């Protein structure tokens, strides 16, 4: 069984880093690279060989009604692949960027804990276990946001921690209500017990979960922490937070709970549609007026999360396909955009678009990859963002919601406008720059180039013939809804 190692390897790496690393960071870098590479390899291996099946793993040998179980299916393997891919490129980016800030092993230990938490949330099949892993990821994220030791970072981290504490309380109340009414914490067991309960209570529980995890996903009424936290963090952490953390802790859990446990109640699907469409529009409007590059990108995260929620709210197979595809694509291009912003910040020491100017000659690779990512996020063919948005729009029309389709197109146009502003002022502007004394190194370029290539390649996921082997198993898991119960109980032991 490969399942427990997704949690154990980064956890072991984190503690070994704390134990072995002296003053320098060589050991820390080596260990964290080893752990991340091995979970990337494991997730690719798992996805290729076991994507059609569902496995459970009973922790410490206690079977399902008593113990905690881990569940592995196409959706969790897909998420694990996405998380480890972004984590690997983030580590590549971190080596020079973090040495430029401070040479320290603590960063890598925290990074590994962040990875542990996210992997744990994705593999676990137990509600409280999910809560614990979520908190591990969040505490690591709070500390990493404040890593740069500037006043604004402390402030952002404080705000994030307070909001995170509030949402965790709400989630814990929901867990308490669930346990008291179903007497189990295994997700499959809860799904089994829910239809026999008073449906008003179920709706209340679902509403509490929606508030709690919606806050983690930064959907629009709960988004206030995101722009501060994501723009103040060091660039590789911004990309981890925006690229995968809000998806692993927010979107993934919402998918698992609302599809596989609550069986997609229509009321909440409509709520997701509304939250999604409001997020698309408000996020992009808030973004378009920003002059701080990372803040602009952070607001776009809200808007893109809106697209994913829109696809989920449609609750048709095509809508789910669009949502899953956009989930992956957003992780890739948003991380790439944050790397670009981080490289510029490292070289020029500014995030203000007005002060950037002519960077296309100074940083050709950064400018090029940033262009790819900008085209991708604003939905220009042949980049991946175009295809996922196209699927979402077609799905909205097919499901009989042309208004939402129009809304999504409008949001996409505004995204294009705001990224034209980024390109115009940020990379092809008038301000001339001297040769700076620090330039991005090979690893940073490698991280950006890998993601830029994936931006182009992942459009292929949608080609018939490849789609059946990549996205369709994931969509099946989501679309089968509470068939999840049989899958989990069928292969217990």
Partner 1 sequence: MKDSHGMTPIVKTVTRVSVWLILLYGCYIILHGHLTPGGGFAGGVVIALAFLNVMLAYGKSFTAEWLNIRLLKDIEAASITLFLVLGLLGIAFGNAFLANFLGKGEMFSLFSSGTIPLFNIIIGIKVALSLFLVVWVLADIDSAKGGDL
Partner 2 sequence: MILYLMCFALFLVGLYGLLTKRDLIKIILSSAIMGYSTNLFLVLFGYRRDATYAILTPNNSGQAMVDPLPQALVLTSIVIELGITALLVALAIRLYQKYGTFDITKMRSLKG
Q: Which residues of 119-136 are buried (b: 16+ CB within 10 A; e: fewer)?
A: bbbbbbbbbbbbbebbbb
Measured from the CB of residue 165, what is the shortest distance to partner 2 in angstroms?
5
The answer to whether the CB of 236 falls within 8 A of the CB of 94 is yes
Partner from partner 1, partner 2, none contacting 267, C-beta within 5 to 8 A by type = none
Q: How distant is the alpha carbon of residue 276 from its chain centre?
A: 16
Using CB under 8 A, which residues numbered 41 to 100 contact partner 2?
Answer: none
- Backbone torsions φ then ψ of 56, nearest 5 degrees: -125, 155
Which member of 27, 37, 40, 57 binds partner 1 (CB under 8 A)?
57
Check residue 172 for interaction with partner 1 (CB under 8 A).
Answer: no
Q: Is 262 exposed, middle or buried (0-12, 13-18, 19+ CB in 10 A)?
A: buried
Stretch that binds partner 2, among 154-162, 302-310, 355-363, 374-382 (CB under 8 A): 154-162
Task: Report the residue number, 61 or 465, with the smaller CB distance to partner 1.
Answer: 61
By CB under 8 A, is residue 59 in contact with partner 1?
yes
436 binding partner 2? (CB under 8 A): no
Contact between 12 and partner 1 (CB under 8 A)? yes
**Out of 19, 60, 61, 151, the residue judged to bind partner 2 by CB under 8 A:** 151
| CA–CA dist 352, 270 (Å, integer) | 39
CA dihedral 387, 389, 394, 399 (to 10 degrees): 140
Q: Of these, 2, 6, 10, 11, which contacts partner 1 (CB under 8 A)? A: 11
Strand partners, 147: none
Is residue 2 part of the contact set for partner 1 (CB under 8 A)? no
Instruction: List the one residue from 37, 58, 172, 274 that touches partner 1 (CB under 8 A).
Output: 58
- 428 interface partner picked from partner 1, partner 2, none, CB below 5 to 8 A per type: none
142 binds partner 2, rule: CB under 8 A: yes
Residue number with CB closer to partner 1 (143 or 273):
143
Strand 69-72 to strand 55-58: parallel, antiparallel, or no bridges (unpaired)? antiparallel
Residue 33 half-sphere exposure toward CB, CA atoms < 13 A: 13
Please, which of residues 225-284 interact with partner 2 by CB under 8 A?
227-228, 232
> Is residue 415 within 8 Å of residue 288, measured between CB atoms?
no
SS (H, E, C) 157-200: HHHHHHHHHHHHHHHHHHHHHHHHHHCCCEHHHHHHHHHHCCHH
Q: Does 135 bind partner 2 (CB under 8 A)?
A: yes
- For residue 310, which of 300, 299, 297, 321 has the smallest C-alpha distance? 321
Q: Which stretch binds partner 2 (CB under 8 A): 8-16, 73-81, 126-134, 196-204?
A: 126-134
Span of 53-61, 310-318, 358-366, 377-385 interacting with partner 1 by CB under 8 A: 53-61
Q: How many residues does the chain have?
A: 493
173 near partner 2 (CB under 8 A): yes
Interface ranges with partner 2 (CB under 8 A): 128, 131-132, 135, 139, 142-143, 146, 149, 151-152, 154-159, 161-162, 164-166, 168-169, 172-173, 175-176, 179-180, 185, 227-228, 232, 286, 290, 295
Residues that bind partner 1 (CB under 8 A): 4, 8, 11-12, 15-16, 18-19, 57-61
């Amino acid at each position: 069984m490969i399942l427990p190692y997704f949690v154990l390897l980064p956890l072991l790496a984190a503690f070994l880093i704390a134990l072995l690393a002296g003053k320098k960071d060589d050991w820390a870098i080596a260990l964290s690279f080893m752990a991340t590479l091995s979970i990337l390899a494991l997730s690719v291996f798992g996805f290729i060989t076991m994507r059609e099946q569902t496995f459970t793993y009973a922790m410490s040998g206690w079977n399902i009604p008593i113990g905690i179980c881990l569940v592995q299916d196409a959706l969790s393997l897909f998420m694990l692949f996405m998380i480890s891919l972004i984590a690997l490129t983030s580590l590549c980016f971190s080596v020079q960027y973090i040495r430029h800030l401070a040479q320290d092993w603590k960063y890598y230990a925290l990074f590994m804990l962040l990875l542990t938490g996210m992997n744990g949330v994705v593999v676990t099949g137990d509600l409280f276990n999910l809560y614990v892993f979520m908190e591990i990821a969040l505490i690591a994220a709070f500390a990493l946001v404040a890593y740069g030791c500037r006043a604004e970072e402390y402030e952002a981290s404080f705000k994030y921690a307070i909001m995170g504490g509030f949402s965790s309380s709400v989630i814990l109340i929901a867990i308490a209500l669930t346990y008291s009414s179903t007497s189990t914490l295994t997700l499959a067991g809860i799904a089994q017990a829910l239809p026999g309960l008073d449906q008003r209570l179920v709706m209340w529980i679902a509403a509490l979960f929606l508030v709690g995890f919606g806050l983690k996903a930064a959907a629009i009424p709960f988004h206030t922490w995101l722009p501060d936290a994501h723009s103040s963090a060091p660039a590789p952490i911004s990309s981890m937070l925006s690229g995968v953390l809000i998806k692993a802790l927010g979107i993934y859990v919402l998918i698992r709970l609302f599809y596989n446990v609550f069986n997609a109640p229509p009321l909440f699907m409509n709520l997701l549609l509304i939250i999604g469409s409001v997020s698309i529009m408000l996020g992009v409007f808030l973004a378009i007026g920003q002059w701080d590059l990372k803040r602009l990108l952070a607001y776009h995260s809200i808007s893109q999360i809106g697209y994913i929620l829109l696809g989920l709210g449609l609750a048709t197979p095509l809508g789910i396909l669009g949502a899953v595809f956009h989930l992956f694509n957003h992780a890739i291009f948003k991380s790439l955009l944050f790397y670009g912003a981080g490289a510029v910040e490292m070289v020029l020491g500014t995030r203000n678009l007005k002060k950037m100017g002519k960077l296309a000659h100074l940083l050709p690779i950064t400018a090029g990859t940033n262009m790819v990512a900008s085209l991708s996020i604003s939905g220009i063919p042949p980049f991946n963002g175009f295809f996922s948005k196209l699927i979402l729009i077609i799905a909205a029309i097919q499901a009989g919601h042309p208004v939402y389709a129009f809304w999504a197109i409008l949001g996409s146009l505004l995204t294009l406008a705001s990224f034209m502003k980024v390109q115009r002022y940020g990379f092809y502007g008038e301000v001339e720059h001297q040769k700076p004394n620090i330039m991005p190194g090979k690893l940073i370029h490698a991280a950006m180039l890998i993601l830029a290539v994936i931006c182009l390649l992942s459009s292929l996921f949608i080609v018939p013939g490849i789609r059946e082997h990549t996205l369709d198993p994931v969509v099946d898991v989501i679309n089968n809804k509470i068939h999840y119960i049989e899958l989990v109980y069928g292969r217990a032991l």
